[in-house]
A and B are shown apart, each in its own frame.
Chain A
Amino acid sequence: MLALAFDVGELRLALAATCVVEVLHRRELRPLALAPHGVVGLLPFRGSLTPVVDLCQLLLGRNCAPLRSSRLIVLTLPHRERPRLIGLLAENVVDLIDGKRTMPGLRLPNVPWLGDHLADQPELPQLVDPLQLLPDELASLFVEEANG
């Protein structure tokens, strides 16, 4: 299994490559009035507006570092009749890693989206479950609005 590694501050995280649609350069986003916490704007992507969540803002309360290695990761999430698209802004999105062997990490109840650690990497990146990452109503609301 192939995983896309990235950083949120000091945290080394990873996403399964199968749910990644495309990695993009960071670009100008359509600002959103009265956006919920962590949402920084809307990204026009393949004919629809995808909401973008800054993981650094969501988890650490600060903006992502303005570096070329800070990139947009467009994900597809399986949802009822058709999958949903969401953009994540993370730091140091430059590497794909091999994620065959995993080891279970410490499961915290208030952070349900952090999963197992990848054992082959020296930094031991922790797999992120994108389905657990965002509250449903928030994600669905954005998608519906985008569709509508």
Chain B
Amino acid sequence: MHQSQLASRLSLLVAAFAGLFLIFGLTTWQTLEQVRVKGPIYEEIILGKDLIADILPPPQYIIESYLLTLQLIDETDPTQISQSVEVGARLRVDYEARQEFWKRELENDAMGDLMTVTSYRSAMEFFRLRDEQYVPAIRAGERDRARSILAQMRRHYEAHRLAIVQVVELAEKRNAEFERSAEDVVGSRSLTFLVLATAILMVVGFMALYAQRSARELSRRIHLAADIAHRVASGDLATEVPVSDERDEAGRLLKAIGAMTQSLRALVTRAKQASIELMSTATQFAATSRQQEATVQSFGASTNEIAAAVKQISATSAELLSTMEGVNIVAGQTADLAEDGQNGLRNLDSTMERLAQAANTMAARLAAIREEAAEITGVVTTISKVADQTNLLSINAAIEAEKAGEQGLGFLVLAREIRRLADQTAVATLDIEQMVKQMQSAVSAGVMEIDRFAEEVRSGVGNVVRVGGQFGQIISGVKTLSERFDAVNHGMRSQSQGARQIGEAMGQMIDGARQTSVSLREFNSATESLRDAVAVLKQEISLFNVGSDR
């Protein structure tokens, strides 16, 4: 039904085209017949041209100028002469204008040569004689000279007329040729036209046949495509589309439908798989969200513990802060004490120096005493030598006295006394020597003691200086310590503040965890809904038949 409709429409179109073309051909033929050479319109135009040519004086034939010069020969009225001259000048202008036209139009053959060269030269000579010699002679009234000039002019005119006559003969002959050739052309063209018309009619018939067949083929395949589309719409995706090599629109349509079916099949298969995966994912979601809920609850407990710990930190840092302040005060006192100690050491330093000086003085005095003792020893030695000598003398004297017997008795007593004195002297010198030795050893010990003392004083001075330096270091150290204590204090304060902020943040986190728990519960219910939806999706997708499951 559809295919006959399409074919009949195409046939109708072809028939309309053929009829219109026939009408066009007939109209063209009629027009050609009317306007052809020797046809009615042509005859009318030629008649008009002939009428004008018969009435008007011919500009290229200078017969009128010649007649005007003939009239002038007997003319005496100057006004009349002037008028005639003016008319002659106008005729010359007309001639030259037309001559220009023909020079452009005519071809350079015999007729053109006659017309534009031979006749023109004679005519121009005629006009030159008239304007330069004849008209001045007439105006001057010299009739005889005018006549002789007129004779010359007549010769030129004759030459011109002869050339023009020849031109006319040639032109008539050519026209006759043109008309004859036009007749021939029309005759031959009519035949061609008939042949062409027949050919066109045959082509149109062929076109009609081809159109009908194409339409039938096209509609068959479109029908097939529509059938497949129907089946796809009803959910049967297993339909195979016949493969065709045709590359026209219908073939492309079939191919596109085949590709579409295949894509749909792949899509539905993927959708099936995806729905299965989605199902398992939804189940995992539910499990994960349950786990997360448990995690969030434990997180809430942990955050509570952390909050408690942070409170403890805050309290501890506050205590530490107060302790640090106490330590800072103690450090300041230490610095004061160290400064006092330094001042005391300065006093001690000067005292030590005085002591060292005193020790030096004492050492010098002891050295002097030692010298004195040495001198004393020398004196004692001398005395003991004298005593020794005395003792020896007394012994010898006593021995001599003994030898002398009775006479020596008194002398013997004297010698004994002398010896006793010498002995006492020796004992005394021995005592002195002993004392001097003791004194010397005491002085030596004193000197050694004083030396040691001086050494100790010296090292004491060094120690004092060192201790002073250490005190200075202690003071500066304590000062920097107090600066650091300030920094620590500051840090402690900010730590305490930070701990408080952490506590607040922990509170907020607990709230957040509570909210998260609520959200998770909502998420759980959403996951349940998702599972239901996926189940429905699976059911829907199972309606599609994709052949063997891939």
Contact = CB atoms under 8 A, between A and B. Distances in A.
Contact of B392 (A17, A18, A71): A71
B423 A23 contact: no
B399 A17 contact: yes
A4 B392 contact: no
Contacts of B391: 94
Interface string A63-98: 000001101000000000000000000000111100
Contacts of B402: 2, 17-18
B549 to A, nearest CB: 140
B392 A23 contact: yes
B383 interface: no
Given A68-B388, A94-B423, A23 B403 contact: no
A25 interface: yes
Contacts of A68: 384-385, 388
Interface in A15-46: 17-18, 20, 22-25
Contacts of B388: 68-69
B494 to A, nearest CB: 94
B139 interface: no
B398 interface: yes
B156 interface: no
Contacts of A95: 395, 419, 423
A25 B390 CA distance: 12
Contact of A20 (B384, B392, B399, B419): B399
Contacts of B423: 94-95
B458 to A, nearest CB: 44
B396 interface: yes
A4 B395 contact: yes
Contacts of B416: 96
A18 B396 CA distance: 11
Interface in B53-72: none
Contacts of B398: 2, 17, 96
Nearest to B412: A2
Contacts of A23: 392, 395-396, 399
Please tell me the size bucket of the interface on A. 10 to 19
Chain B interface, >50% SS class: helix
Nearest to B384: A68
B384 to A, nearest CB: 8
B419 A25 contact: no
Contacts of A93: 395
A71 B416 CA distance: 19
A96 B392 contact: no
A26 B391 CA distance: 14
B126 to A, nearest CB: 200
A96 B403 contact: no
A138 to B, nearest CB: 26
A68 B419 CA distance: 16
A69 B399 CA distance: 18
Nearest to B392: A23
A25 B395 CA distance: 12
Interface string B215-229: 000000000000000
A120 to B, nearest CB: 14
A95 B416 CA distance: 9
B379 to A, nearest CB: 16
Interface string B463-487: 0000000000000000000000000
A122 to B, nearest CB: 16
Contacts of B392: 23-25, 71
Interface string A5-22: 000000000000110101
A96 B419 CA distance: 9
Interface in B390-441: 391-392, 395-396, 398-399, 402-403, 412, 416, 419, 423
B395 to A, nearest CB: 5
A68 B388 CA distance: 8
A87 to B, nearest CB: 15
Contacts of B385: 68
Contacts of A4: 395, 399
A24 B395 CA distance: 10
A33 B395 CA distance: 33
A81 to B, nearest CB: 21
B403 A22 contact: no
A89 to B, nearest CB: 15
B397 to A, nearest CB: 10
A31 to B, nearest CB: 25
A25 B391 CA distance: 11
A40 B306 CA distance: 113
A140 to B, nearest CB: 25
A18 B423 CA distance: 23
B60 to A, nearest CB: 196
Contact of B396 (A2, A22, A69, A94): A22
B378 to A, nearest CB: 16
B403 A18 contact: yes
B500 to A, nearest CB: 101
B344 to A, nearest CB: 61
13 contacts: A2-B398, A2-B399, A4-B399, A17-B399, A17-B403, A18-B403, A23-B392, A68-B388, A71-B392, A94-B423, A96-B398, A96-B416, A96-B419
Interface of B: 384-385, 388, 391-392, 395-396, 398-399, 402-403, 412, 416, 419, 423
Given A18-B403, A93-B395, 20 more contacts: A2-B398, A2-B402, A2-B412, A4-B399, A17-B399, A17-B402, A17-B403, A22-B396, A22-B399, A23-B392, A23-B395, A23-B399, A24-B392, A71-B392, A94-B423, A95-B419, A95-B423, A96-B395, A96-B398, A96-B416
